[in-house]
C-alpha cells in the first residue's frame, strides 16, 4: 500500500461510517476493511470503468464492500454515514462535491487530499462549517501531498494557517520545497514585475518563520 493511502487511512477511526468518493482502484476501502479499521464503508466513483477496477480488486481480496456509480454525493443517503474521504482530485471538483453538505448534520469528519490549491480548499471547507483538525504531509515519487482532516465545528485559522496549513514538524521538507519553488519563480520573473516579486518574497519570509517555529 502506498504512503499516501496509508496516511489517509490513518485519519479513519473504527467508529467511522465512511463514503470514499472517487475510489478508483478501491485501495483505501480494501485496506480499511482488511484491517478492521472502519465500521461501514461505501466506495463510489463517477466512472463505471474505474469502479469495475475496484470491484475486481475487492473480489480478488475475497471481501464484501458496497460500491456505487454516482457523481459526488448524489443518490447517497448521507444519514447512514458520518465521514467522507476524497483524494486525488483537484480543489474545485472537491468543493463542488462537498457543497452538497450544506444543511447536513451527520457528516462530522472529512479526510481530504487535494492535488492543488490548498488555500482555497481550507477556505471553502471552513465555510461549510468544518475546522482543520490535523494534517499529514508526505513526499512520494517526488510529489508532496498534504492530507487534511476536517471536523464539524468552528475554530479560526490564522492567515498563515489558511495558506500553508497547520504548523507541524513533518512539514519541514515541504516548507523548504515551497521556498525553493518561490526562489525558482523569482529568478525567472521579469524585473519590472514588482507585484509578483513582492508576493513571492513575502511568502518566503513567512515560510522561513514557519521553518523556525516548527523546529
Ligand X SMILES: C[S@@+](CC[C@H](N)C(=O)[O-])C[C@H]1O[C@@H](n2cnc3c(N)ncnc32)[C@H](O)[C@@H]1O
What residue ranges bind ligand X (CB under 6 A)? 21-24, 44-47, 50, 71-72, 87-89, 93, 97
CB of 96 to ligand X, least distance (A): 7
Smaller CB separation from ligand X, 92 or 214: 92
CB of 97 to ligand X, least distance (A): 6
In 3D space, the residue among 118, 156, 109 whose CA is nearest the CA of residue 137 turns out to be 118
Residue 122: which residues within 8 A CB-CB, separation 6 or more? 132, 148, 157, 161, 162, 165
The separation between CA 9 and the C-alpha centre of its own chain, rounded to angstroms, equals 12
Whether 109 contacts 152, CB under 8 Å = yes
How many CB atoms are located within 10 Å of the residue 103 CB? 6
Smaller CB separation from ligand X, 94 or 200: 94
Which helix (H) or strand (E) covers residue 179, if one does? helix 172-188
CB of 22 to ligand X, least distance (A): 3
CB of 25 to ligand X, least distance (A): 7
Smaller CB separation from ligand X, 47 or 202: 47
Smaller CB separation from ligand X, 27 or 174: 27
Amino acid at each position: 500500500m502506498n504512503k499516501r493511502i496509508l496516511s489517509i487511512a490513518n485519519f479513519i477511526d473504527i467508529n467511522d461510517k465512511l463514503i470514499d468518493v472517487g475510489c478508483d482502484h478501491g485501495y483505501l476501502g480494501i485496506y480499511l476493511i482488511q484491517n478492521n479499521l472502519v465500521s461501514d464503508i461505501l466506495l463510489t466513483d463517477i466512472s463505471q470503468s474505474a469502479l469495475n477496477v475496484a470491484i475486481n480488486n475487492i473480489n480478488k481480496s475475497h471481501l464484501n464492500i458496497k460500491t456505487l456509480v454516482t457523481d459526488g454525493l448524489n443518490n447517497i443517503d448521507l444519514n447512514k454515514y458520518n465521514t467522507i474521504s476524497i483524494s486525488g482530485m483537484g480543489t474545485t471538483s472537491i468543493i463542488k462535491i462537498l457543497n452538497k453538505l450544506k444543511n447536513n448534520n451527520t457528516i462530522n469528519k472529512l479526510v481530504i487530499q487535494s492535488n492543488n490549491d490548498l488555500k482555497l480548499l481550507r477556505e471553502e471547507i471552513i465555510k461549510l462549517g468544518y475546522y482543520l483538525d490535523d494534517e499529514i504531509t508526505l513526499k512520494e515519487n517526488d510529489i508532496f501531498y498534504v492530507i487534511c482532516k476536517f471536523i464539524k465545528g468552528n475554530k479560526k485559522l490564522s492567515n498563515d494557517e489558511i495558506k500553508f496549513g497547520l504548523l507541524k514538524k513533518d512539514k519541514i521538507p515541504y516548507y523548504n520545497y515551497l521556498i525553493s519553488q518561490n526562489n525558482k519563480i523569482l529568478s525567472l520573473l521579469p524585473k519590472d514585475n514588482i507585484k509578483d516579486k513582492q508576493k513571492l518574497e513575502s511568502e518566503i519570509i513567512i515560510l522561513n518563520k514557519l521553518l523556525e517555529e516548527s523546529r
